[in-house]
Each structure stands twice: as structure tokens, then as C-alpha cells.
Amino acid sequence: MDEREVPPEEGRARVRPELWISSTYFAEGFPYGIINSLAEILFRDMGASLAGVGLTSLFHLPWNFKFFWAPLMERTLSMRRWILLFEVALLGLFVAAGGIVFFREGFGPELTLVLLSVIFLVAAFASASHDVAIDAFYLEAQNEKEQARHVGLRSSAYKVASILVRGPGLALVAAVGWTLGLSAAAAVLAALALFHLRVLKRLEEAHGALPTGSARRKEPGAREKSSRRWLIWLFGCIALASLLMFLSYEVPAVRSALTGSTAMLVWSGLLVVGLTIGVLVSRRRLRNLRGEGAFSRLLSHPHFLVVLAFIVTFRLGESFLQKMKWPFLSEFVGLTKAEYGTLNGTIGVIVSFVGLIVGGRLIARDGLERWFWPFLLAQNALNLLYAALALVPDGLLSHELNLGVVGLVIVCEEFGAGLGASVLMVFLMRLCHGQHRASEFALLTAVMTIGFTISGALSGYVAEAVGYFGFFVASFVLTLPMMGLGPHALRRSHDFAPRAGSS
């Protein structure tokens, strides 16, 4: 037998799955953490207002809608090539961001924020698309048994990346500055791209032509070019949106016309209009998906709108809190970046993960109904701890005691968030059944973050208008609609299970 003609099962053994799964999902979580956890700190350091810090939540929009352009990616390149392409693009974007920070005095504060906003939103699109390629490669390169076996590994690798970015990564930025910190992030992505260039190629050769690659080669050239034009159009729209977004609050002439509640109304209207246009543009795609049966069961269910409202509002208060946590703890309490990275980015992430595991096991043992309200209250009521912290007079506590109190507040809030996340995950899984359960779960997890994105975008305006104490009280008030919908949504979730004897 020729050396190149390696049977799939033998070829598969040549590349240990633990290596490429852990590296790809680390590469998935690494840029996500930078874009969605460090952006608010970077933009605040560059002089952004609280409103601007809140608007960094809009960087999450590509993750909300990535399933719309996933089919376009399938028609052009193999998933291995997409993975490499987006990793190279991301490392270039982070180097560019570091360069802009280095030359910020020459650019001036307004242009610096505008350029950074363009880079970060394009990077968000690249990172979300990178996620699509990695998830597709994971499904293509393994059978169902292997996929199930490695689900814990992929989650752990993703979580390690998040901890590394939010903890040691932020500490590195505090020590060497943003330019070198972003350059170090680019170096990590360069190492991952070189590793994947070799390992994923061997894996692809061992499996022969993976489904996406072979399907792409059968596509007509015109369709392939059309798909590429759509992707270029999406990049352009995202860059333009980011430019308009930051012009609206950082350029004095524009901001003077958009102050306070007026700006909130304008951005709320723009978000609603944007989401409406997105739904209208994709209506044919949604109809096709319904015709294929992928989402038809969910979309046609009589109680789907109530359940959908519960899902969308589930994380409103959490997102509100998260975007203002750093400005509050750094400026009002006095935490340094290194201290914040340790308390929130390392200990907080670990505690949240522990809360998710503990909550999942308790729900598995006693049922969702038993823990539904205790976990929801743990997630939402603990936001008020930050309101209490905002009432402590400045200078009353020593720095060491202050660190202890802040650390305790963060641990309690993050553990409660983990418990709440376990409720949401189990609730979503209860809705998904049948042969399309994976597609249904993907749709619901994308939809659930829309409310998270929108409330985070508006959080800075509220903080500027009412102060930190009123803001943290508002973060709890925002959870009341979700808790009001909770009993009805919990009862109706049972109706989504297929009836006995149904297909």
C-alpha cells in the first residue's frame, strides 16, 4: 500500500484527538476573551466614556448571528483553511490594535477610539466565524461516539483560555502595557496557527476529503464567488457600523446632539431596526430551515414566544453588571488591573465554573423545579452586593480590607451566576428533542445572547445618568421581567417534549 493511502482509522491514530481538540478550542476561547472581556478595560484606558464602555457589548453581535453566514463559509473553503485564515487575520488585527495604542498620541483620542472600534468589531466577526469553522471541523473529523467522549475536553480548553486572558493576560497588560500585551496575544495566535497548519493538515489527509472540502469542490464557480462577495459585504457592514457607533459618542459635535436619554433612545432604535433588518434579510434562509424541519418544531410551537422571551431576558441583569464592573472597581474602589485580573479574571471565572458544575449536579439529582427559584435568586439578587459596595464611604476601609470585601463580593456574585447558568442550560436542553436537537440548541444559545448584547450596550448610558448605586439597583430591576416569566416558561417547557408514539 502506498504511504499516502492511509486507512481512516489508522490515519486517525497518527494525530491524537486530545492535541488538536484542546488546541482548537483554546484558540476559540482566546480571542473571544480578549474581544469580550478586555475590550472595556482597553477602551476605558484610551479615554472612552462609560457610555462607550457599555457600547463595547456590540462587539458580541457577530456571535449572535454567526449561524446566518455559516452556510456561506461551507461553499467556499474547507474548514481547516477557514481556521488558519481567521487565526492569521486575528493575529494581524491584534498587532494593528497594539500599533494604534502605541501611536495614540499622534492619532488623538477620538481617532484612536474610532480605529480601535473598527479593528475590534472586524476581529469579532473573524473570531465568531473562526468558532463556526472549529465546531464544524470537530463534527466532521469525529463520529458521534468520539464527539461525546471529548465534549469535556473542548469545554475545559475553552475555559482555560478564558482564565488565561482575564487573569494572567490582564496582569501582563498591567506590567508591560497594551501594545506589548496585544502583541503577546498575536504571538499566541501565531503559534496556534503554525501548529494547526501541520496537525490539521495531517488529520485532513488521514480522513481523505472532509465533507466540507468535497462539497465545496462540487459547487459552481459563480456560487462560490457570490458567497465570497457576501462575506466581504458582511465585513464592510461591520466596519461601517463600528465607525458610526463610536462617532456617535466620542466626537464632540455629534455627542452634543446625542446626550443622556436621547442617546439611549437613538441606540435602542438603531438596535431594533438593525435586528429587524437582519430578520427580514434572512427570512428566506429561515423558511428554508423550517422546510428542512431543523427549527420547524420550535418555531411552530404555540408557547414558543413566551419561552423565547424568557430566554432573551434571562441575562439582562448580568450583562448590565459585567460591562460596568471594571470602571466601578477601578475608579470607585481602587483596584489595579493585576488585582482585578486575579479576583475577577481568575478566581471569579473558576468560581463561576464551579457554580455551573454544582448547579448541574443538584438539578440532575433533584430536578429543575426544585432548584429553579433558589438558583435564579442567587444569580440576580447578588447584584445588589455591588450596590451595597457603592455606599461604602471612600477611605473607610484599608486597601487590604477593601480587597477582601471586593473579593468576597466577586466570589458570591460569580458563584450565583454559575448557578443561574446551570438553570438556563438545563432549561434549553429540555426544549430540544429529536434528530434536530443540535440545531435547535445552537439556535437557542445564539438567541439567548441577544438580550445580553443589547443591555450591555446601553449600560454605560444608565451608569452616567444615575451613578453607580442606582446603576447596580437597576441591574437587579432588569431581572424582574425574566423572573416574572419564569413560572409560565417552566410549566410550558414540558410541552416541548414529543408525545408518546410521535416521531
Q: Nearest to residue 56, comparing CAs of 433, 362, 455?
A: 455
Measured between alpha carbons, how far is 231 from 270 in angstroms, rounded to an integer? 22
Distance, in Å, from the CA atom of 444 to the CA atom of 466, rounded to the nearest integer, reads: 33
Distance of CA 222 to the CA centre of its chain: 33
pLDDT 10s digits, 133-173:
888 787 777 766 676 667 667 778 888 898 899 989 999 99
CATH code: domain 1-258 is: 1.20.1250.20
Tell me how far apart the alpha carbons of residues 282 and 349 are, in angstroms, rounded to a whole number: 36
Q: What is the pTM of this model?
A: 0.75
In one-letter notation, the amino acid at residue 218 is: K
Predicted local confidence at residue 273, as pLDDT: 53
Distance CA 109, CA 45 (A): 10
> How far, in Å, CA of 187 to CA of 23, rounded?
15
User: How far is 433 from 205, CA to CA, in rounded Å?
Assistant: 35
d(CA 361, CA 359): 5
Pick from 481, 485, 425: nearest CA to 455 = 481
The string of pLDDT tens digits covering residues 236-271 is 555 555 555 555 555 555 555 444 444 444 544 555
What is the predicted pLDDT for the residue at 238? Answer: 54
**Which amino acid type is present at position 210?**
L
Same fold? 1-258, 292-494: yes
Cell of 180: 506589548
Q: What is the pLDDT of residue 225?
A: 53
- The CATH superfamily assigned to 292-494 is MFS general substrate transporter like domains (1.20.1250.20)
pLDDT under 50: residue ranges of the chain = 1-13, 209, 211-224, 227, 257-265, 267-268, 279-280, 282-292, 500-503
Work out the number of other CB atoms within 10 angstroms of the CB of residue 407. Answer: 17
| Residue ranges covered by each domain of the chain | 1-258, 292-494
How confident is the model over 440-474, as pLDDT tens digits? 666 777 777 777 787 887 888 888 888 999 999 99
Separation in Å, CA 91 to CA 82, 94, 143, 351, 395: 14, 5, 32, 30, 43
Cell of 228: 465570497
Instruction: Name the one residue in this structure whose C-alpha cell is 462607550.
Output: 52
Comparing CA positions, the residue from 487, 327, 471 lying closest to residue 391 is 471
